[in-house]
């Protein structure tokens, strides 16, 4: 506890976690998409892509990553294996799960099909007029908006016609609360986007937790896990990509 002249006694927040009924939670960020490859290429990072974010396909390398995720899924023990999968409605997440499920069934013939749902609250952050714009393309098109984003911080910055990360967290909180009711006691796998995975971490850390604006994006095809500890879900794995290491890669 420390004293601040303007705010009085201030305690460093650690978050008051809300009790959860889920048996456990896995979160997978989709495999590499065409937009991810575009953003990472110095030859294209100054201009936006054509098309819509919702219809971005996986790259060949992303398809390989998704199959390696399937190998990871096939190797889970029975107590850790998900009983329900919930996907973002975006093409890249649905394809990631389809390839995962196919690869897992090939590797482990005893696996039973897993119930699968799509929920629109797991969609990626809406960027409004800057849809499919790499960050440098935003700076080039609208320096004043780039400056505003840097001034207010990315967590609360809302692009014209789009969402802030705080907005994403609101819909993700609604999703987690409802999931707690319909899947009580179950292991659940969510296949979604970086902004959603970060929001899940923020929400599950509890009321008063600091916003995760210091976190690096979780990698494509990464796995994060929250395990039940008493009445709450505790973070045990964050952005793990070990399943992508030590096997032959393409692309």
At 5, is the pLDDT very low, low, confident or very high (cuts 50, 70, 90)? Answer: low
What's 94's domain CATH number?
3.40.50.1240
At 214, is the pLDDT very low, low, confident or very high (cuts 50, 70, 90)? Answer: confident
Residue 250 falls inside a structural domain: no
* Total number of residues shown for the chain: 251
Res. 13: pLDDT tops 60? no
DSSP the chain: -EEETTTEEE-----BPPP--BSEEEEEEPPPBHHHHHHH-TTTTTSPPSS-GGGPPBPHHHHHHHHHHHHHHHTS-TTTS-SEEEE-SSHHHHHHHHHHHHHHHHH-TTPPP-EEEE-GGGSPPP-GGGTT--HHHHHHH-HHHHHHHHHH-TTT---TTS--HHHHHHHHHHHHHHHHHHTBT-EEEEEE-HHHHHHHHHHHH-BTPPP-TTPPPPPTT-EEEEEEETTEEEEEEEEE-GGGSSS----
Rounded mean pLDDT, 173-199? 97
Residue 13 falls inside a structural domain: no
Residue 170 falls inside a structural domain: yes
Residue 50 falls inside a structural domain: yes
Domain containing 236: what range? 18-244
* Distance, CA of 18 to CA of 14 (rounded, Å): 13
Pick from 154, 168, 180: nearest CA to 88: 168
Residue 128 falls inside a structural domain: yes
- State CA 113 to chain mean position distance: 23
If you average pLDDT over every residue of the chain, what do you get? Answer: 92
Give the global pTM: 0.92
DSSP 64-87: HHHHHHHHHHHTS-TTTS-SEEEE
Pick from 103, 108, 100, 106: nearest CA to 191: 100
pLDDT value for 4 = 54
223-229: strand order across its sheet: 115-118, 84-87, 187-192, 24-29, 223-229, 232-240
Pick from 169, 175, 164: nearest CA to 87: 175
Q: Report pLDDT digits (tens) over 26-84.
A: 999 999 999 999 999 999 999 999 999 999 999 999 999 999 999 999 999 989 999 99
Residue 22 falls inside a structural domain: yes
Residue 249 falls inside a structural domain: no
Q: Report pLDDT digits (tens) over 230-248.
A: 999 999 999 999 999 976 5
How many domains, the chain? 1
- State CA 242 to chain mean position distance: 17
* Distance, CA of 95 to CA of 2 (rounded, Å): 50
pLDDT value for 73 = 97
Residue 61 falls inside a structural domain: yes
């Amino acid at each position: 506890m420390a004293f601040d002249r303007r705010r009085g006694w201030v305690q460093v927040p650690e978050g008051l976690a809300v009790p959860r009924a889920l048996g456990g939670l896995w979160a997978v960020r989709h495999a590499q998409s065409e937009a991810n490859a575009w953003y990472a290429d110095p030859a294209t990072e100054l201009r936006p892509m054509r098309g819509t974010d919702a219809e971005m396909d996986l790259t060949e390398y992303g398809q390989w990553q998704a199959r390696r995720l399937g190998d990871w899924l096939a190797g889970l023990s029975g107590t850790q294996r998900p009983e329900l999968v919930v996907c973002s409605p975006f093409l890249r997440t649905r394809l990631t799960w389809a390839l995962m499920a196919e690869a897992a069934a090939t590797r482990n013939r005893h696996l039973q099909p897993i119930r699968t749902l799509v929920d629109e609250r797991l969609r990626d952050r809406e960027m409004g007029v800057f849809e499919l714009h790499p960050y440098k393309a935003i700076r080039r098109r609208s320096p004043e908006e780039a400056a505003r984003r840097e001034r207010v911080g990315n967590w609360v910055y809302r692009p014209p016609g789009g969402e802030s990360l705080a907005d994403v967290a609101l819909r993700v909180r609604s999703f987690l609360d409802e999931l707690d009711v319909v899947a009580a006691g179950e292991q659940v796998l969510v296949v979604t986007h970086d902004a959603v995975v970060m929001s899940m971490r923020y929400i599950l850390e509890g009321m008063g937790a600091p916003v995760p604006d210091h976190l690096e994006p979780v990698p494509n095809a990464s796995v994060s896990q929250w395990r039940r500890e008493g009445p709450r879900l505790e973070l045990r794995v964050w952005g793990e990509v070990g399943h992508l290491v030590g096997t032959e890669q393409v692309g």
